[in-house]
Structure 1
Amino acid sequence: MVKNTTLTDVHIGLGAKMVPFAGFNMPVQYSGINDEHETVRKGVGVFDVSHMGEFILKGDGALDLIQKISANDASRLTDGKVQYAYIPNETGGVIDDFLVYRIDDRTYFLVVNASNIQKDWDWISKYNTSGVTMKNISDETSLFAVQGPKSAEVLGSLTDIDLATMSYYTFAKGSFAGVDNVLVSATGYTGAGGFEVYVANKDAKKVWDAIFEAGAPYGIKPIGLGARDTLRLEMGFCLYGNDIDDTTSPLEAGLGWVTKFTKDFVNADGLKKQKEAGLKNKLVGFEVIDRGIPRQGYDIVDGSDNIIGRVTSGTQSPTLKKSIGLGYVSIDHAKEGTELYIAIRNNLVKAVVVKPPFVK
C-alpha cells in the first residue's frame, strides 16, 4: 500500500510525474530534471520531502540513548544545533543515516530516511532501557526543503526568525507564514544552500502556498526527487539504499568523520578493529571520460579486465554536462587520478577517480 503525503493532490495538479518511492507516492519531476536542477543551483526551488521520518526523544536519558545508537558524539550539541550522524548495526553495516536536532538538554528531534522509519524506530526502542519517552510524529509532520541561493530572500518575509544570519546546521522555532511553532533549519541535501521547514500536516498547504507566493518574483519552482538526486550526487552526498546500507562499512563509505571512538556506541569495537586492520575498499567519486551513464550495480573494472568494485550511484551531471558517479573500489584503486572502466552494457567506458564534491 503506497502512502500519500498531505500535498499529493497539489503535486498532481502541478503536473508532477508521480512515482512510488520508499513506500510513498512522490513527485519525481515537474518541468524536467535539468530545468529543476538549474533552478535550485541558481535560484530557489521547493521539494516536498514529507515522506521523511521524525522522532522526538525526551527525558533524562535521551542523550545517553542517542549516544548509544549514534556513531557521532551528540554531547557536542547545544540548543539550536543540528548534527549529521549514522546508526551502526551490530555487524559492521549501517542501519540509517540521520539528523539529530537538540531542542534542549532533555529533548531531541531525529530526522530519518523514509524507507527506514519502522526499522529505525524498532532499533532505537530496543536500546531504550531507561524509559526515554519516544514519539513518532512522522505521519503528522510535513517537510519542505526550500533550496538555492535565493532561499533566504524568499523566506525572510514569511518569518520572525532571522534566516540571513542563521549558520549551517543550526535551527530555530518561530512564526512562519502566520503559523506558530514552525521549526526552520539551515540544512538541506543539495549543496545549494537553503532551509528545511517542518510544519504540522494541518498547516502544510497554507505554508506551501505562502512560500510560492513569496517566491514568485524570484522564479520559484516545485522540484522533484529526480533533481534532488542529481543535486546530491554533484555534492558527493551518500544516499541510503545506494551508497550505504546494512552491508556497507561506514568507514569504507567515508563516514569516519562522524565516527567518534571517544565514546561507547553500538559496534564501536568492531569498527575500531576494522580501522586498525586497514580498509579493504573505499567509496570514491569518479567522472566518466567516454560516453555513457553509470548506474547502480554496474561493475567497475581495472585496465586488465578485473572487477574491482561496483557503482552505487550514477547520473549525467546537469551542471558539468558529463557523467559522474560514486562506487566502492578496492583500496589500491581509490587514489585520485586513477583510471577505471565502468561496464555499461557490453562496453567498458573509461572513467577517472575524483574527489567529491564534483561541483565546487
Structure 2
Amino acid sequence: MSGLKQTPLYPLYGQYGAKTIDFGGWDLPVHFSGIMKEHETVRTAAGLFDVSHMGEFIVEGPAAESFLQKMTVNDVSALVPGQAQYSLMCYTDGGVVDDLLIYKKADDSFMLVVNASNIQKDFDWLERHREDGVTLVNLSDEMALLALQGPKAEAILQRITDVPLQELGPFRFVDQAQAGDGLALISRTGYTGEDGFEIYVRAEEACSLWEQLLEVGREDGLLPVGLGARDTLRFEARLPLYGQELNASITPLEAGLGFFVKLNKGADFIGRAALVKQKEAGLARKLVGIEMIERGIPRTHYAVGHGDEVIGEVTSGTQSPTTRQNVGLALIRSEHAQLGTELWVEIRGKRVAARVVKTPFYSRKK
C-alpha cells in the first residue's frame, strides 16, 4: 500500500505470511496465521507483536519531573529509576489528549511511550507547555518496539538475555540490557492481560531480534501476532484503546480509570480542576461491560438504549475468543450502569437485548 508508513520490521512481514491493513496511516499486519489462532496462542503460550509504530519521547532536565507532574494525571514523583507508570494527559476540560507509559530512567530523565496516531499531536502538546529546564526529543523514528506476551514469554526471553527476568516485577524495566546480539530497554509491561515484556531497540536491530526470538521460542509455540488479536486480547482484559474508550470528549473518570488519576498528588496538573468538579458532582456517564442476551455482536458506535431512550453507545465489542460470548464496552448514562440492568443495542436497525455485566471479561490466573 503506497504512501503508508512502515515499521523497521516491514521487510520481514512477507515471509511470515502477514496480511496488512492501513492502521492510522501505517501498513501493519492485522494477522499472520489468523486472529483466533493468534489470540489463543497468547493466552496459552506466547505471541510476538511488532508495535514499532508507537511513539517514544525523551523528557530530560532538572525540571523534567515537575513538568511531567503538570502534564499527566498520575503521580510521577512516586516513581523510582527503573519503574514505569501508566498515565494520561488531559485537556483543561478533562478530556483525554492520550494515554501513555512513563519510564523513569534517572531522576532527570524519562521516556514517554505514546499512541502511534497521536505522536505529532502529543509532541506538539508537550512542546507548547514545555518550561525552562526541560528538553524534549522525539525518538519515534529511531526506535522499534517488540512485545512478547503470554505465559511462556519469560522462559523464551530468558534464552537471549542475561537479565534475571524472574526478579523483574510488573512495571519495572532494565535499560541497556542484553537482548540477543544488541542492547535493549526491557520492561515487564503489556497490553494483552497476560504476563509479558516490551523490548525497545534501535530500529536497525529490530529484524535480527524478531528472528532470534521466533527461533528460540519455536519449541514453546511462539507465533507472530497481528493487530487483530492485539485488539481482542486488550478488549477482553478491559484495557482502553485511544479513539474508542478514550478521546478528547471522554474523561479518565468516565472511562473507569480513576485509579490512575491522583487528584491529591500535591501538584496541579492540566485538567485537574475539571476532574475534581466532575468527581464531586458525580459522573453522568460510565463505561460498562455489556453482554448480549439475544443474538448479535455489539460493534463500535452502535447505539445503546433503555426503554425508549438512547442512553449511550458501544465503544468496543466483539465475540470474545476466550469465552465465546458476544460482549462489548459501552459508555452510557450512569443511572443505567448497575450490574444486571437490561439494555438494548441497535444492530442493523433492530433493538437487540443485552445486559450490564462485570468486567474484565478475562483475567489471567496468577
Q: Secondary structure at the match of 2:165?
A: coil
Supply the distance in 1 between the matched residues of 2:346 and 2:256 (Cα, whole angstroms): 24
Structure 2 equivalent of residue 331 of structure 1: 334
Structure 1 equivalent of residue 300 of structure 2: 296
Structure 2 equivalent of residue 12 of structure 1: 14
Supply the distance in 2 between the matched residues of 1:120 and 1:241 (Cα, whole angstroms): 14
Supply the distance in 2 between the matched residues of 1:92 and 1:219 (Cα, whole angstroms): 44
Q: Secondary structure at the match of 1:67?
A: helix
Which stretch has the larger CA shift, 143-152 or 130-139?
Answer: 130-139
Structure 1 equivalent of residue 148 of structure 2: 146
Q: Secondary structure at the match of 2:30?
A: strand
The correspondence of residues 109-258 of structure 1 with structure 2, limited to 5 A, is 109-173=111-175, 174-180=177-183, 182-258=184-260
RMSD: 1.0
Structure 2 equivalent of residue 108 of structure 1: 110
Supply the distance in 1 between the matched residues of 2:191 and 2:253 (Cα, whole angstroms): 21
Supply the distance in 2 between the matched residues of 1:90 and 1:358 (Cα, whole angstroms): 32
Matched, 1:272 2:282: no
Conserved 8 A contact 1:79-1:103: yes
Structure 2 equivalent of residue 53 of structure 1: 55
- Per the TM alignment, residue 346 of structure 1 is displaced from its structure 2 partner at its CA by 1.9
- Per the TM alignment, residue 178 of structure 1 is displaced from its structure 2 partner at its CA by 1.9
Q: Deviations over 1:254-294 (max 9, x none)?
A: 12111111221002111111111111010111112221111
- Per the TM alignment, residue 134 of structure 1 is displaced from its structure 2 partner at its CA by 1.1
Q: Secondary structure at the match of 1:216?
A: helix
Alignment partner of 1:313 out of 307, 311, 316: 316
Conserved 8 A contact 1:52-1:113: yes
Structure 1 equivalent of residue 290 of structure 2: 286
Q: Deviations over 1:175-198 (max 9, x none)?
A: 110212x10000000011110000
TM-score normalized with structure 2 length: 0.96
Equivalent residues, number: 358
Structure 2 equivalent of residue 82 of structure 1: 84
Structure 2 equivalent of residue 349 of structure 1: 352
- Per the TM alignment, residue 341 of structure 1 is displaced from its structure 2 partner at its CA by 1.0
TM-score normalized with structure 1 length: 0.98
The runs of at least 4 consecutive aligned structure 1 residues that moved more than 2 Å come to none
Supply the AA of the counterpart residue of 1:277: A
Supply the distance in 2 between the matched residues of 1:267 and 1:150 (Cα, whole angstroms): 40
Q: Secondary structure at the match of 1:236?
A: coil
Supply the AA of the counterpart residue of 2:121: K
Supply the distance in 1 between the matched residues of 2:212 and 2:291 (Cα, whole angstroms): 40
Supply the distance in 2 between the matched residues of 1:287 and 1:193 (Cα, whole angstroms): 26
What percent identity do the matched residue pairs reach? 47
Q: Secondary structure at the match of 2:98?
A: strand
Supply the distance in 1 between the matched residues of 2:187 and 2:161 (Cα, whole angstroms): 13
Supply the distance in 2 between the matched residues of 1:275 and 1:338 (Cα, whole angstroms): 23
- Per the TM alignment, residue 15 of structure 1 is displaced from its structure 2 partner at its CA by 1.4
Conserved 8 A contact 1:12-1:18: no
Supply the distance in 2 between the matched residues of 1:359 and 1:270 (Cα, whole angstroms): 32
Supply the distance in 1 between the matched residues of 2:166 and 2:352 (Cα, whole angstroms): 45
Structure 1 equivalent of residue 361 of structure 2: 358
Supply the distance in 1 between the matched residues of 2:215 and 2:319 (Cα, whole angstroms): 32
Supply the distance in 1 between the matched residues of 2:24 and 2:114 (Cα, whole angstroms): 12
Conserved 8 A contact 1:29-1:227: yes
Q: Secondary structure at the match of 1:12?
A: helix
Q: Secondary structure at the match of 2:280?
A: helix
Q: Deviations over 1:223-250 (max 9, x none)?
A: 0000000000101111000111011122
Supply the distance in 2 between the matched residues of 1:221 and 1:115 (Cα, whole angstroms): 26
- Per the TM alignment, residue 251 of structure 1 is displaced from its structure 2 partner at its CA by 1.1
Supply the distance in 1 between the matched residues of 2:143 and 2:234 (Cα, whole angstroms): 23
Supply the AA of the counterpart residue of 2:75: D
- Per the TM alignment, residue 131 of structure 1 is displaced from its structure 2 partner at its CA by 3.6
